[in-house]
C-alpha cells in the first residue's frame, strides 16, 4: 500500500516536475532565458574579471617582448 501511494504521488509526477528535454522544448524563448539567466551581479563580476584577465595577459606579453622574449 505504501509503495502504491509513493508511486502515485511522487514518482508519477516526476516527468512534469523535472526539467527534461520535453519540458524545455515547450518553453517560450523568454522562459528559457529566465531559467538560464545568471544574476546581474554575477554577469558584472565576470565581465570585470574578464577585463582584468585580458589586461594582465597584454601586460605579460609586453613584459616578455621588453625582455627580448618571443611572443607566446
How far apart are the C-alpha atoms of 26 and 39, rounded to whole Å? 24
How far apart are the C-alpha atoms of 30 and 24, rounded to whole Å? 12
**pLDDT at 50 exceeding the cut of 90:** yes
Question: According to the model, what pLDDT value does residue 71 have?
Answer: 66
User: Under DSSP, is residue 67 helix (H, G, I), strand (E, B) or coil?
Assistant: coil
Q: Which tens digit of pLDDT belongs to each residue from 40-49?
A: 999 999 999 9
Q: Which tens digit of pLDDT belongs to each residue from 13-37?
A: 666 667 777 778 888 999 888 888 9
Q: Which tens digit of pLDDT belongs to each residue from 56-68?
A: 999 999 999 999 8
Question: According to the model, what pLDDT value does residue 60 have?
Answer: 95
**What does each C-alpha distance from 67 to 14, 60, 70, 71, 72 come to in angstroms?**
62, 11, 9, 11, 13
Amino acid at each position: 500500500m505504501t509503495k502504491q501511494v509513493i508511486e502515485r504521488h511522487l514518482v508519477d509526477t516526476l516527468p512534469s516536475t523535472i526539467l527534461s528535454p520535453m519540458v524545455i522544448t515547450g518553453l517560450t524563448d523568454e522562459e528559457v532565458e529566465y531559467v538560464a539567466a545568471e544574476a546581474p551581479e554575477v554577469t558584472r563580476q565576470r565581465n570585470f574579471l574578464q577585463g582584468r584577465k585580458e589586461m594582465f595577459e597584454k601586460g605579460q606579453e609586453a613584459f616578455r617582448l621588453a625582455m627580448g622574449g618571443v611572443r607566446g
